[in-house]
Amino acid sequence: MAKRKTDFMPDPQGTGILSKLYMTYQQRMTILRWALYTITCLVLLVAQDVLLCDLKLFGGSVNLAVSMILLICAMQDLETAAVFALVGSCVYLFSDAAPGPYVIVMLTVLGVAEAAFRQSFLRRGFGSSVLCAGVCLVVYEALLFGIGLFAQLTRIGRFWAFLGTTIQSLIALPLLYPLFAAIGKIGGKTWIE
C-alpha cells in the first residue's frame, strides 16, 4: 500500500560520526575531571624533577609521583583506583624516575588494597584518604628499601635517606588532598558510599 503524506514519519536515526561522538553531560564532566587529574599530576611530576629535587631531608628528596598515585587511589572507587594505579605507575616508570618495572606491580597492588580497604571500612574524606595513602606510602618505601638491600643496590646506612623521602612524601599528602578533592568534585559523586 502506498504511503500517504500524513503517515507518521520517524526521525532519522543518527548513524554519522558526529552522532556517535555525542556525550552526555556526565561523560563530559568525567573526561574533564580525569584530564585535570592528568595535567595536575604531570605538572607536579615536573615540579618535583625541576624544583623539589634539591630539597633534601636526611639525604632523601620528596617522591610526589607515588604520593599522588596513592592519594588519588584512596579517593576513588575500587575499579577506578585499580586502572588509575596501573596507568599512573606505567607513566611514572616511563618518566625514568622509577627504580624499576617492579614498581608497576607494587603501586597497582597497593592502590587496589588501599581503595578496597577504604571503600569497605571508611567513609571517603580527608582523614581516611590521607591515612590510607600514608600507610601505603610507608609500605611502598619500606618495600623499595628492602628490594634495594636484597639486590645490593643500596645499603643499610641509606635508611635515613629513605626515611627522609618517606617523611617529605607523607607531608605532601595533606597538602595535595584539597587540590585532588576539588578536582574530584567535578561532575558530582560517581558512586555512593
Partner 1 sequence: MKRLFSNKVRAVLVLAVIIALALAIVNNVTTFDLPNRIVQGILVPLRTGMNNLNTRAEQFYSYMFRYEALVAENEALKERIAQMEDNARTADALSRENERLREAANLLEQRESYSLVDGYIISKNSTDWNSILTVNRGTSAGVDVGMVAITSTGEVVGLVIEAGSNYCQVKTVLDSSLEISATITSSGNSGMVQGGYSTGTEGMLRMNYLPSNAIIRNNTQVVTSGSTVYPRDLVIGYVVDAGFDETGVVKYAILRPAVDFDSLEQVFILTEYSNEG
Residues binding partner 1 (CB under 8 A): 42-43, 45-47, 49-51, 53-54, 59-61, 78-79, 82-83, 85-86, 89-91, 93-102, 104-105, 108-109, 112, 116, 148, 152-155, 157-158, 161-162
Using the minimum distance from each CB to partner 1, give the nearer residue, 157 or 188: 157
C-alpha 39/C-alpha 120 separation (Å) is 30
CB of 83 to partner 1, least distance (A): 6
CB of 128 to partner 1, least distance (A): 20
Using the minimum distance from each CB to partner 1, give the nearer residue, 98 or 173: 98
Side-chain half-sphere exposure of 124, counting CA atoms within 13 A: 21
CB of 63 to partner 1, least distance (A): 9
CB of 151 to partner 1, least distance (A): 9
Using the minimum distance from each CB to partner 1, give the nearer residue, 83 or 138: 83
Q: Which of 171, 145, 138, 144 is nearest to 159 (CA)?
A: 145
Q: What are phi and psi of 57, to 5 degrees?
A: -130, 120
